[in-house]
Amino acid sequence: MTAGADLQAIRERKPLVHQITNYVVMNETANATLALGALPVMAHAPQEVEEMASVASALVLNIGTLSEHWVAAMVVAGAAANRAGAPIVLDPVGAGATTYRTVTARRLLSELEIAVVRGNAAEIATLAGREAEIRGVEAVGDAAGPELAQAAADALECVVSVTGPVDHVSDGQRVVAVANGHELLGTVSGCFLAVRQASPLEAAVEALVAFGVAGEDAARDARGPGTFHVALYDALYNLDPATLDSRAKLD
């Protein structure tokens, strides 16, 4: 387990994490990136997206609130990241909820080399070609668990992280269950990938561990979603590399 060492690396190297994400979470993902110790940059204009992606250490794509120009930006940025060897995280928000989101997520998976896809069971099941009942962005389906993660990783040829009550991460061969997950997770995964570019499975697991431990710390004194949210940034910022590995709850 090298979650602690990689957290330390994030804080020392301060990698640039390029994010093309949705309007709803943009402020939160920037703040979470900063709290972890990395540098967020949001850029989507065709005039600059390639240049920005080529200097970043990881790229996070999130298809919530997407529109035509943003999808085009994702494709261009993704190709630049691929050429530069920077790993890409895809968060297929709402895949299965509308045809446009499903088609867009599939297009990104087919045109780009994606390192990690992280989504809920319904989103992942949709992309893996498994039927799923979806209601909007939040999945209502059951926690499909390890076999979904493995089957999807196999079908999509990348690491897949299925979040739910227990999170499952697989590269198609191994499956790791982590009992600690969330909407900011795509970004946190991007930060860990930025310092562990060659090992997306490890990076995805480490992100779940770091996020889960921070969530435990934040939940301790929270009185509801408002105080939890605030405490989460504090907790990400205060994560201790020295104790992080020992707090991981792997299965």
CA distance 107 to 84: 20
User: Which residue's CB is nearer to its own copies, number 3 or number 16?
Assistant: 16
CB of 138 to its own copies, least distance (A): 5
The string over 147-171, giving b where at least 16 C-beta atoms fall within 10 Å of a residue's C-beta and e elsewhere, is: ebbbbbbebbebbbbbbbebbbbbb
Taking the complex as a whole, the smallest distance from the CB of residue 59 to its own copies amounts, in Å, to: 13
Binding residues for its own copies (CB under 8 A) = 14, 16, 22-28, 30-31, 34-35, 39-45, 47-48, 51-52, 55-56, 64-69, 94, 97-101, 135-138, 140, 223-227, 229-238
172/212 with CB nearer its own copies? 212
**Residue 228 — φ and ψ, nearest 5°?**
-60, -45
The residue among 173 and 221 lying less far from its own copies, judged by its C-beta, is 221
CB of 5 to its own copies, least distance (A): 22
111 CB neighbour count, 10 Å cutoff: 13
| Residue 126 Cβ vs its own copies, minimum distance, rounded to whole Å | 14
CA atoms lying within 13 Å on the CB side of residue 6: 26
Pull the structure tokens for residue 101. 């989101």
Q: Which is nearer to its own copies, 230 or 250 (CB)?
A: 230
The contacts of residue 99 (CB under 8 Å, 6+ apart) are none
Residue 117 or 194 with smaller CB distance to its own copies: 194
Burial level of 83, CB count in 10 A (0-12/13-18/19+)? Answer: exposed
> By CB neighbour count within 10 A (0-12 exposed, 13-18 middle, 19+ buried), where does 69 fall?
exposed
- In the complex, least distance from residue 8 CB atom to its own copies, rounded to whole angstroms: 18
